Amino acid sequence: MKKVVIITGASRGFGELIAKKFQKENFQVIATMRNIDSSPSLKELDNIDIKKLDVTVKSDIKNIVDFTIEKYGRIDVLINNAGYGAFGFLEEASDQEIKNQFDVNFFGLIDCIRGVLPQMRKQKDGVIINISSIAGRFGLPFTSLYNSSKFAVEGLTECLHYELSLFGIDIKTVAPGSFRTGFHDSVNFTESEKKEDLDDVREKLKIALEEGIKKEPPFPFGFGNNDDVADFVFKQSITKSKVSNFIGRDTKIINFFIKIFGRELLFKIIKKQWFNKIMSKNKL
Ligand SMILES: NC(=O)c1ccc[n+]([C@@H]2O[C@H](COP(=O)([O-])OP(=O)(O)OC[C@H]3O[C@@H](n4cnc5c(N)ncnc54)[C@H](OP(=O)(O)O)[C@@H]3O)[C@@H](O)[C@H]2O)c1
């Protein structure tokens, strides 16, 4: 019997590639997405069910879990991949923008975990992989909402791995570095609560973000290969590995840097690199 995987945010980016990888490895794939027509290339493949799931809609989650158990009788793997970045000054984000970031990246992920747990506990078996980010391990400027949502994912996973191990369920994070997916084009710049005195610096920040994130990665190591992430996630799902796992050359270099020089020096370098772009020299 084929093993069964549920993937969130499979319309594009990592999620779509992860769905293809599991399909190739002979899994039955439940590829979930907000709009079921978003990925024509997944539709052409065997052993993939394309199903509607917005991770912020609890009834969607229940429908996916019920469908999977009814049709296949088990859930072996959950990949919590859906997510987006809310960037900008915290002060200028509206309550709704703040809530949306956590609803998708954190509370939606919690709801998906809670959705599959009864079945995985019954099976006394299962793997949950939460796609976090290197941004969930150290802070970056002007991304406090995104970073904190991913820090929350890291913290949740680290804590949950104790209790889930009681039931034979493995939970871990996969934290990618910089990869060129749709992520950068979907960044939500939070500015609903504009402050006039931030007008000047906000405009420079938007230009710097545009240049620094959309055109080239925030770290000077180039973008990684997206297929490597899909291969890595698959590998983590079939092997006993650490609770936190990193993928991308930049993550290796940054983790090594932190180990040798500490986080404070990294913060200083990041400040210099970023603030040079948006502040006058005398404010540095
Ligand atoms: N790319 C990177 O450099 C990078 C680095 C570290 C971590 N990550 C993480 O990797 C994950 C995948 O991102 P990606 O890089 O593949 O970006 P992407 O190409 O923008 O894909 C994001 C996916 O999330 C889905 N999504 C967004 N909101 C959703 C919701 N409410 N319910 C269900 N699905 C939703 C999107 O669906 P729609 O098509 O409907 O919008 C899309 O399928 C994210 O968690 C991201 O934070 C990315």
Q: Model confidence over 71-100: pLDDT tens digits?
A: 999 999 999 999 999 999 999 999 999 999
pLDDT value of position 281: 47
- List the CATH number of the domain containing 156: 3.40.50.720
Number of compact structural domains in the chain: 1
Q: Is the dihedral of CA 116, 122, 126, 129 positive or negative?
A: positive
pLDDT of residue 12: 98
Distance 29 CA to ligand 1 centre (A): 18
Q: Check if 141 has its Cβ closer than 6 Å to any atom of ligand 1.
A: no
The per-residue pLDDT for range 239-281, each reduced to its tens digit, is: 998 999 999 999 999 999 999 999 999 999 988 887 776 765 4
Identify the residue whose C-alpha is closest to ligand 1 atom 47. Answer: 83
How far, in Å, is the centroid of ligand 1 from the Cα of 7? 11
Q: Which residues of the chain have pLDDT under 50?
A: 281-282, 284
pLDDT at 284: 41
Residue 148 one-letter amino acid:
S
Q: Find the domain containing 107 and state its range.
A: 4-252
274 in a domain, yes or no?
Answer: no
CA of 13 to the centre of ligand 1 (A): 7
Is 266 domain-assigned?
A: no
237-244 long-range Cβ contacts below 8 angstroms, 24+ apart: 237/5, 237/22, 237/77, 237/79, 237/127, 237/129, 240/170, 241/172, 242/172, 243/157, 243/158, 243/161, 243/171, 243/172, 243/173, 244/132, 244/137, 244/154, 244/157, 244/158, 244/172, 244/173, 244/175
Residue 50 β-bridge partners? 31
Q: Are strands 77-80 and 126-131 parallel, antiparallel or unpaired?
A: parallel
**Residue 60 within a domain:** yes
Q: Quote the pTM value.
A: 0.96
**Which pLDDT score, from 0 to 100, does residue 280 have?**
54
